[in-house]
């Protein structure tokens, strides 16, 4: 019998999805679920962060709490939902100080308020150091953006810039923390307003957040939509710190901008006939490529065209 690590996260989730079958509404497979209620749909997701994997050197407990909320709110943003409420589950080591626990909750609460939501409850118990945040939101009549409706010929775009969380991480590892902003790593900003505007525009055919990096995100849209992608390295908007890290270490732009992840921009595709609707809704974005009728994401760089590798996660 194979183990979890042999299957990998994606492998086991595939098996779980087969076992569960498909519920009404939108079940597993997107950034959030859409759950039908008699009074309307609720958009819902849950995500966890751990001391082991999500607590880089220099992070505060307040940053950790902010991040716990931000990663779930980002999964609502990717659907175009407006955040309404959060539930916070804490599994924390018995020797953790009282003040540190309040600081985790303060960070979560600040992030919730920033996104227009409140924390409505949660759960608290001893554990190894993990915080799980359930986020609930509403589409307010907009159509949710899925991963599965990209069409060949659509344009591919991203919000914001890429690689700045990775740059912050490598700045700390290499003693360059005074030269690079650590904010994108320590307190990521989910693209809530952008997601709402994008879903409101009616132009977007698919969307996903970049938590696991651009390569994984592109691969997820390709597989859910049965399409391919041509993405152009020279079009990618480099985040703050990316150039400083490439000139001071041997870490590549590709590693930071395509594979590292830990950033919360939105990758999306749109119908090129409807581009003006995005401008009318004040969505700011950078075009990075186009959707093809192949079945994998390709990266184009210096006249070379190669399939994007799997990400790290």
Ligand X SMILES: Nc1ncnc2c1ncn2[C@@H]1O[C@H](COP(=O)(O)OP(=O)(O)OP(=O)(O)O)[C@@H](O)[C@H]1O
Ligand Y SMILES: Cc1ncc(C[n+]2csc(CCOP(=O)(O)O)c2C)c(N)n1
Chain residues in the site for ligand X (CB under 6 A): 13, 16, 28-31, 47, 71, 75, 211-212, 220
Nearer to Mg ion, 74 or 201 (CB): 74
Nearer to ligand X, 71 or 257 (CB): 71
- Choose the contact partner of 29 out of ligand Y, ligand X, Mg ion, none; CB within 5 to 8 A by kind: ligand X
- Is 54 annotated to bind a ligand? Reply is yes
Check binding of 263 to Mg ion (CB under 5 A). no
C-alpha to C-alpha distance for 192 and 176, rounded to whole angstroms:
31
Give every CB contact of residue 258 below 8 A, 6+ residues apart in sequence.
Answer: 162, 213, 214, 215, 299, 308, 311
Nearer to ligand Y, 241 or 262 (CB): 262
Render 252-287 in DSSP notation, one character per residue: -HHIIIII------EEEEE-GGGHHHHHHTT---EE
C-alpha to C-alpha distance for 51 and 33, rounded to whole angstroms:
26
Helices (H), the chain: 4-20, 61-77, 98-114, 164-173, 183-186, 192-201, 214-225, 242-248, 253-254, 275-280
180-186-188 Cα angle (round to 5)? 100
- Choose the contact partner of 28 out of ligand Y, ligand X, Mg ion, none; CB within 5 to 8 A by kind: ligand X
- Is 63 annotated to bind a ligand? Reply is no
Q: Whole-number minimum distance, CB 287 to ligand X, in Å?
A: 23
Rounded to an integer, what is the distance from CA 80 to the centroid of its chain? Answer: 13
Helices (H), 115-163: none
Question: Which 8-state DSSP code applies to residue 143?
Answer: P
* Contacts to Mg ion from residues 159-218, by CB under 5 A: 209, 211
Q: Whole-number minimum distance, CB 123 to ligand Y, in Å?
A: 19
Which tokens is 136 given?
């609930």
- Is 113 annotated to bind a ligand? Reply is no
Cα separations in angstroms, 311 against 208, 210, 218, 279: 15, 11, 10, 31
Give every CB contact of residue 298 below 8 A, 6+ residues apart in sequence.
Answer: 228, 229, 230, 231, 292, 305, 306, 307, 308
- Choose the contact partner of 41 out of Mg ion, ligand X, ligand Y, none; CB within 5 to 8 A by kind: none
| x/- track of binding to Mg ion for residues 37-76 (CB under 5 A) | --------------------------------------x-
- Is 234 annotated to bind a ligand? Reply is no
Nearer to ligand X, 180 or 263 (CB): 263
Nearer to ligand Y, 12 or 151 (CB): 12
- Is 100 annotated to bind a ligand? Reply is no
- Choose the contact partner of 30 out of ligand X, Mg ion, ligand Y, none; CB within 5 to 8 A by kind: ligand X
Q: Whole-number minimum distance, CB 97 to ligand X, in Å?
A: 28
Question: Which 8-state DSSP code applies to residue 228?
Answer: E
- Is 211 annotated to bind a ligand? Reply is yes
Nearer to ligand X, 63 or 212 (CB): 212
Question: Where is the binding site for Mg(2+), in residues?
Answer: 31, 47, 75, 123, 209, 212
Question: Where is the binding site, in residues?
Answer: 31, 47, 54, 75, 122-123, 147, 209, 211-212, 298
């Amino acid at each position: 019998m194979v183990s979890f690590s042999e299957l990998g996260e994606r492998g086991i989730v595939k098996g779980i999805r087969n076992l569960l079958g498909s519920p009404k509404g939108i079940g597993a497979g997107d950034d959030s679920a859409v759950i039908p209620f008699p009074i309307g749909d609720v958009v819902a997701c849950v995500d966890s962060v751990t001391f082991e994997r999500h607590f880089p050197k220099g992070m505060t407990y307040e940053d950790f709490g902010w991040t716990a909320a931000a990663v779930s709110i980002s999964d609502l943003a990717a659907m175009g939902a407006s955040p309404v409420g959060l539930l916070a589950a804490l599994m924390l080591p018995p020797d953790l100080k009282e003040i540190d626990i309040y600081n985790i909750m303060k960070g979560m609460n600040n992030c919730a308020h920033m996104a227009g939501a409140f924390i409505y409850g949660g759960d608290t118990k001893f554990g190894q150091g993990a915080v799980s945040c359930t986020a609930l939101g509403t589409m307010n009549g907009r159509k949710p953006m899925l991963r599965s409706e990209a069409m060949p010929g659509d344009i591919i775009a991203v919000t914001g810039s890429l690689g700045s969380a990775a740059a912050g991480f490598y700045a700390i590892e290499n003693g360059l923390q005074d030269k690079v902003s650590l904010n994108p790593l320590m307190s990521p900003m989910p693209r809530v307003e952008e997601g709402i505007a994008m879903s409101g525009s009616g132009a977007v055919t698919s969307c996903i957040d970049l938590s696991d990096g651009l390569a994984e995100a592109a691969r997820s849209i390709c597989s859910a939509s049965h399409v391919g992608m041509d993405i152009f390295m020279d079009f990618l908007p480099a985040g703050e710190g990316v150039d400083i890290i490439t000139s001071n270490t041997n870490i590549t732009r590709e590693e930071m901008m395509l594979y590292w992840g830990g950033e919360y921009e939105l990758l999306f595709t749109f119908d090129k006939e409807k581009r003006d609707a995005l401008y009318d809704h004040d969505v700011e974005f950078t075009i990075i490529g186009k959707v093809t009728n192949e079945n994998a994401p390709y990266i184009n760089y210096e006249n070379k065209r190669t399939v994007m590798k799997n990400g790290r996660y």
